[in-house]
Structure 1
Amino acid sequence: ESFLFPRLAGDEQALKNSLIHFFELYDQDPITAAFPPQPYFLANNHYFFVNRSLETPASSQPSREIENLVCQGRWKTVGKPKQVKRGNTIILGQRNIVDFVTVEGKRTGWRQYEYERILDAPIFQTVVVVHIFYQLG
């Protein structure tokens, strides 16, 4: 709420000293990615604004295809989106879980939580907040 809403509203002043910045997540795989340092977050935990595009012009699904794939794998959606609420009643958006898996479908340990706002109209959101992290096991 503190980061995504001002970004979607174009409130640059509110984001002037933001801890979250844009990162082209789908330009490289997470295993070999050169994540910029973020000293305010735990090791192997990164938060970014990420630009998304559609799989195809007729699709409503985001493309998570990696441009410069070094380690063979892909991003795979896991489970159903979960509502993000303020308190118990106000729905702010939803969280999608996406794992980076090998071509055989095995988890690599890299996961992202993709946060997007739920809008009244079904409009594809090109900017989301992503929390990407590595977890063992």
Structure 2
Amino acid sequence: MTSETTEPLGKWVEQLFKTAFFQSDDQMANQAMDQGFSENLKVRINGSLMDRATYQQAAVRVRGSCQGVLENMEELLVTSAEHQPAGGGSVAHLLRFMMKDWKTGEEKKETAVIISTVDVSEGKRLVTEVTEVNRTWDSA
């Protein structure tokens, strides 16, 4: 997971979210959170505001109780190159994924739209804001 500004913004955010939330190595996930998300991160999920610490704690809790399986992550829209301040900007993704409860085996399908705002500090990209709207669907 690199924070260099040469990779297309949408691809960089996609890789960050895949590493932080959809692979099995907890150490790698925590490292992605530490390196890719600003200390001053603002997150809003379905209208509920949280800071970085709360967001990271929620991610750890979910990873401990469920296995997330990413089915698809599609870039919907990204800030055009001429409007990206030195590699930063905003990008929207549509995600489809499944959460499988470790204890019960219950599976829930979810769909989310995530808008990420990325700033560049000292040559490194950092996600500074995340707005997520998600919905759980019955797997039956």
TM-score band by shorter chain is 0.3 to 0.5
Q: Counting strand residues as a fraction of each chain, which structure ranks higher?
A: 2
Return the TM-score normalized by structure 1: 0.37
Return the TM-score normalized by structure 2: 0.36
Q: Counting helix residues as a fraction of each chain, which structure ranks higher?
A: 2
